[in-house]
Structure 1
Amino acid sequence: MNLFGIIVMYFICFFSIMGTFLTFPHISRKNISFGISIPEDLYYSSEIKNVRKKFTQKGLVIGFIILIFAIITSLVLNNQGSPDNAVLVVVPAIFILLLAYMVLYLNAYKEMKIIKSNSSWKDQSKEVIVIDTDFRKGKLMVSPLWFVSYLLVIMITLFVGIYFYDTAPEKIPMNFDFSGNVTNYVDKSIRVFLMPVFVQLMMLVIFMFSYWMIGKSKQQIDASNPEVSKEQNRMFRLKWSQFIIFTGFIMMILFMILQLTSIGVLKNLQIVTLFAIGVPLLIVVAAIVLSIRTGQSGNRIHVYTNKAGEKMSISRDDDKYWKLGTFYYNPQDPSLFIEKRFGIGWTMNFGRPLSWVIFIGLMLFIAGFSIFTSIYMK
């Protein structure tokens, strides 16, 4: 890969990480601030707003310092005739950025703990647990039958690989640069044509698991405005299940196109390369936009109701179960999945043994698939 390609990929990764991480505090539930539960009315208080402001400002400064350093170092290496060594700079830079943002989060988390310990929120509020027994009777998710479309694409990918095998070129293009030029070929074999199918099957498992996780996650309703919160949470699950279905289907199509390119049906490599780069970028942008539009638990979705909530009611304080405001550990809670406290999405209840079985099983599945593909393609 040339220097331009390296820098483009770095920019995509960098701004994706910085954009998502720095928006998390602003789109989380308003009764949560950096993993600490608070009364919703205090979300816009000057003290708590200042914590978010400092987090964002420091994140921008640190991010751009790392960005500028990585680009300058890459240009120096390129001028010295070592463009490939730029990868040795930009990859660690991404990990340094992630580490720096983790430290920033932990500092904000500690600051919020101090603010809460010095406050009298509990004395002024009453803790309430809200459970809606009819919550799951409404439409929470899109139909799982949409996954049938994945199977159709997988079958087409397999069929075209077998049908065009005899007429496919003896050398199969595997890697391309940003101009669409082939940088690596492999000898034609049935293994090459089955690989996209294997990847599609792996993605099918992962996307179905993500869909199932959304549907089975714990019901969380804000006690200060339960009617609005219930509808927001329902729409939040529905929109993200739609996103999961859409994202998975587009990825299935991408690997079908790569299959058609390998067998020589699609010959415009520039367009294929653009598509291969554009699809992941589109997914990242769509995820960021959806996160901003919905907020965590749907708190940014506008819902109208005639019922007013109790302004000084607060959901049950379960901070003790959230380690560092990120990891949920509650052996008494039967739920396997729960909404994150920082960011968008869901996490596991690590106090349940079954959660560990699922987590380790998923990691072993991904690692096993990676090992299988590396051996299979030799």
Structure 2
Amino acid sequence: MNVVLVIGALNLGITAMVGALLHFLPHPRLSPPSIAFGVRTPPDLADDPVILQQRRRYGSTLLVTTPVLSLLAALAGSLLDSVVPASVGVAVLCFVAVAQWARAHRAISRAKATGNWYGHLRQGAVTDTSLRTNPVRFPWSWTTPSALIIAVTALAGVVVYPDLPDTLKLPRHSFEGTSYREYATTVWTAFSLVFGQVLLTALMAGVVVLALRARPDLDAAQPRESAERHREHLAGTARAILGTATLLNLMLLGLSAAIWSENRSTWLLATIVGVPLAAALAATAHLVLRVGGGASKASAEEAPTGFVRRDDDRHTVAAGLLYVNANDPAVLVPSRVGKGWTVNLGNPRFLAGAAATVAAAALFALL
């Protein structure tokens, strides 16, 4: 019975957590400045009745859908002894959210075109050259915990490797429940999660490097204050990404220990996976709420310049979810969905890098 409750709670928690994130995604606190459902809007129309109406519709739909799907996922997960129902629930939630997002995007775009929202405004762009001459530094000290965890995991693996059985059992989840498949004990299988730790840490560090060099979305109306907020956001984001890498590496350490010891305790596995993920979510939420919006405490009053951000909707596709601009040299650009960045799908450097990444991942999976 305890195992059934744990599996049900895990399905419930995963589905509800994703639903809550999707529900609050269009909130002004979590969205980029002057963006509503992927549509660039003037600052003085951020609370236009059309935008408020679409936010209410989107939020109410997710508010009804999330509890229903969470309960269904919990019930199905308990009956099937599997976390697959949670993935199905998350997929349905994402489909509902994207459909509602697209509807809101169309409605706001129509209102924007009909009302000629940018017709009377002076549009402009601003850049901060100090981001190149005096950039936000990579927080190397935040990579130390991950390096130590990887070293501990590898050392533990070296110690236990001679005493491991001839085969290792790894879990597989399906609608029929959780089963275990046996793999021959080799360096690749025994240390697979250690390799995963190294790859994860390198990937997260690479994301931080790209983020620190990404094109900022500075406010043409108050360039100095927005530049200060951008620097603060960059520093906090870099620490949050590397901190999340530490938590995920800790999770992989626990999973490696469970595989090597052949411990199949559901409570143990739920703790190993659940605690780091919950901590990573809490760290991300703290970053968004503390740095993600509002004026910087360190910034001073700045007189508006009379300009607004440029209307660049023509470079977005798929309801503002994707950015495509072959003339933009930036690989990472500010995202229109939540805080952070997205890739420029029209940049040849990104396309080449994506192809190389896919090839490397395929090679790793083959090995």
TM-score by length of 2: 0.84
* Conserved 8 A contact 1:30-1:299: no
Q: Report what 1:375 is aligned to.
A: none
Distance 2:19 2:295 in 1: 21
Matched letter for residue 70 of structure 2: L
Q: Report what 2:107 is aligned to.
A: 111
Q: CA deviation at 1:101?
A: 0.6
Q: Report what 1:41 is aligned to.
A: 44
- Superposition map of 1:25-174 within 5 A: 25-26=26-27, 27-71=30-74, 78=79, 83-84=80-81, 89-138=85-134, 140-144=136-140, 146-147=142-143, 149-167=145-163, 174=170
* Conserved 8 A contact 2:251-2:276: yes
Cα distance change on mapping 1:265 and 1:149 into 2, 3 Å:
farther
Q: CA deviation at 1:25?
A: 1.3
* Conserved 8 A contact 1:141-1:242: no
The answer as to 2:208 corresponding to 1:211 is yes
Moved over 6 A (4+): 265-269
* Conserved 8 A contact 1:35-1:109: yes
1:155-210, Cα deviation, whole Å (9 max, x unpaired): 33222222233355677675599xxxx98585755444322221112212321221
Deviates more, 1:329-338 or 1:7-16: 7-16
1:117-166, Cα deviation, whole Å (9 max, x unpaired): 01233232100111121134445244246435534432332222222333
Match of 1:308 among 285, 303, 306: 303
Distance 2:145 2:212 in 1: 20
Cα distance change on mapping 1:95 and 1:314 into 2, 3 Å:
same
Deviates more, 1:126-135 or 1:253-262: 253-262
Matched letter for residue 125 of structure 2: I
SS in 1 for 2:274: helix
Distance 2:21 2:149 in 1: 31
Q: List runs of 5+ in structure 2 lacking aligned partners.
A: none
Q: Report what 1:197 is aligned to.
A: 194
Q: Report what 1:254 is aligned to.
A: 251
Q: CA deviation at 1:106?
A: 0.4
The answer as to 2:226 corresponding to 1:229 is yes
- Superposition map of 1:323-338 within 5 A: 323=317, 324-338=319-333
SS in 1 for 2:342: strand
Distance 2:22 2:243 in 1: 23
TM-score by length of 1: 0.82
Cα distance change on mapping 1:368 and 1:232 into 2, 3 Å:
same
Distance 2:144 2:88 in 1: 40
Q: Report what 1:360 is aligned to.
A: 355
SS in 1 for 2:299: coil
Q: CA deviation at 1:33?
A: 1.0
Matched letter for residue 302 of structure 2: K
Deviates more, 1:87-96 or 1:256-265: 256-265
Matched letter for residue 198 of structure 1: F
Q: Give the paired residue count.
A: 358
Cα distance change on mapping 1:3 and 1:268 into 2, 3 Å:
closer
Q: CA deviation at 1:325?
A: 0.8
Matched letter for residue 335 of structure 1: A
Cα distance change on mapping 1:34 and 1:7 into 2, 3 Å:
same
Distance 2:256 2:84 in 1: 31
SS in 2 for 1:219: coil
Q: CA deviation at 1:307?
A: 1.3
SS in 2 for 1:344: coil
Matched letter for residue 356 of structure 1: L
The answer as to 2:11 corresponding to 1:15 is no
Matched letter for residue 121 of structure 2: S
SS in 2 for 1:123: coil
Distance 1:72 1:270 in 2: 18
Q: CA deviation at 1:223?
A: 1.1
Matched letter for residue 41 of structure 2: I
SS in 2 for 1:308: coil
SS in 2 for 1:166: helix
Q: Report what 1:343 is aligned to.
A: 338
Matched letter for residue 23 of structure 2: L
- Superposition map of 1:361-376 within 5 A: 361-372=356-367
Instruction: Give me the CA root mean square deviation.
Output: 3.2
Distance 2:344 2:261 in 1: 48
* Conserved 8 A contact 2:73-2:85: yes
Matched letter for residue 284 of structure 2: A
Distance 1:64 1:167 in 2: 47
1:54-110, Cα deviation, whole Å (9 max, x unpaired): 2211221233343344456667xx3xxxx34x7564433321111111001000110
Distance 1:73 1:272 in 2: 19
Q: CA deviation at 1:333?
A: 0.9
Distance 2:304 2:41 in 1: 16
Distance 1:67 1:219 in 2: 37
Q: CA deviation at 1:251?
A: 2.1
Q: Report what 1:376 is aligned to.
A: none
Q: CA deviation at 1:53?
A: 2.0
SS in 2 for 1:121: coil
